[in-house]
Amino acid sequence: MSAMSYETLLYEVGDDRVARVTINRPERMNSWNNLMCAEFKRLWAEIKLDARVHAVVLCAAGERAFSAGVDVKEEFVQPANIWNHSDGGEDLGPKQNKCWKPVVCAVHGLAAGGALYWINESDIVICSEDAQFFDPHTSFGLVPSNEPIGLARMVHPREALRMALMGNDERVCAQTALRIGLVSEVVPRETLLGRAHEIAALIAAKPSVATQGAVRAVWESLDKGRQAALDHGIIYNRIGNPIGEAQVDRWNMPKPKWVLR
């Protein structure tokens, strides 16, 4: 495996074209700060242009938490000019950085507040049985905005509002997360990373032009009405299909690994 050097995350690319990105501040419950935001912005730009990478597994180090959100013990530095201020976590996720490589997110332990920047922008989210999701903002008199706005595009808006309004007084367990569609699979903690990698490897074995086109078409459709999204989507068929089909040998394809879910 090959690796790039970062301070707040780990990044490695395997021979199966799956990159593993590990949020790596376990001593701070994987909370994010200015440095981590800058490193994730650089990371997604590198993944976007790295032809070796067809899919990504996003996970976190340590035992207690996927992420506790923003590091409240460090000041998040904004430019002096208020008109140049931006959302603190906008650099964390792949979609804000226009990276369309499929991302499989593996969540364990606590996933609080700003952890949703990663979860909301992943394409497939699975979690371990010990996962707990919550948004503490309102308990501290803070307005939760971008986190529930992103979440409301993944689950029913009332579920996003319930999490935002309940604050520290309610945590969404793994089974509830599965029921409301926040995750698509719950697995034992010891199999979490293996299962995430298995899913990513199956995706990575397909032509990247096809999987990236699917990701981009669906995510961009969220900002459009239905008919406008369909009209736009057919353009991606015309752009990506000739390339993707040329990269598939239909007569020598491996036998599909059928799985009932």
pLDDT tens for each residue of 191-232: 999 999 999 999 999 999 999 999 999 999 998 989 988 888
> Quick one: 37 and 7 in the same domain?
yes
DSSP 52-104: T-SEEEEEE-SSSEEE-SB-TTS-----SSGGG---TTTTTSTTTTT--S-EE
> Quick one: 61 and 187 in the same domain?
yes
CATH code of residue 89 = 3.90.226.10
Within a domain: residue 251?
no
Tens of pLDDT, residues 231-253: 887 888 888 777 777 888 766 66
Residue 2, pLDDT score: 45
Within a domain: residue 84?
yes
Domain total of the chain: 2
> Quick one: 165 and 62 in the same domain?
yes
Tens of pLDDT, residues 117-127: 999 999 999 99
Within a domain: residue 192?
yes
Within a domain: residue 29?
yes
Within a domain: residue 259?
no
Query: Which DSSP symbol is given to 257?
Result: -
Within a domain: residue 258?
no
> Quick one: 90 and 185 in the same domain?
yes
SS3 content of the chain, % helix, strand, coil (to 5): 45, 20, 40
Within a domain: residue 183?
yes
Q: Specify the higher pLDDT residue, 78 or 95.
A: 95
Residue 169, pLDDT score: 97
Q: How many H helices and E strands in the chain?
A: 8, 11
Share of the chain above pLDDT 90, in %: 76
Containing domain of residue 225, as a range?
A: 208-246
Within a domain: residue 112?
yes
Q: CA distances (Å), 170 to each of 21, 94, 112, 117, 164, in order?
A: 29, 28, 11, 20, 10
pLDDT band at 92 (very low <50, low <70, confident <90, very high): very high
For residues 74-103, average pLDDT:
88
CB of 132 closer than 8 Å to CB of 110: yes
Q: Cα–Cα distance between 237 and 239 in angstroms, integer?
A: 6
> Quick one: 200 and 228 in the same domain?
no
> Quick one: 170 and 214 in the same domain?
no
> Quick one: 28 and 152 in the same domain?
yes
pLDDT band at 40 (very low <50, low <70, confident <90, very high): very high
pLDDT band at 4 (very low <50, low <70, confident <90, very high): low
CB of 97 closer than 8 Å to CB of 89: no
For residues 85-113, average pLDDT:
94
Closest CA relative to residue 154, chosen from 199, 129, 184? 184
| 200's tokens | 């990513």
For residues 78-104, average pLDDT:
90
For residues 166-189, average pLDDT:
98
> Quick one: 157 and 113 in the same domain?
yes
> Quick one: 87 and 101 in the same domain?
yes
> Quick one: 176 and 212 in the same domain?
no
> Quick one: 27 and 153 in the same domain?
yes
Closest CA relative to residue 125, chosen from 59, 62, 209? 59
> Quick one: 150 and 236 in the same domain?
no
Q: What is the mean pLDDT of the chain?
A: 92
Q: Cα–Cα distance between 106 and 187 in angstroms, integer?
A: 10
User: pTM (2 decimals)?
Assistant: 0.92
Strands, sheet with 9-13, edge to edge from the N-terminal-most edge strand? 2-4, 9-13, 18-23, 55-60, 103-107, 124-128, 185-187
Residue 7, pLDDT > 50, answer: yes
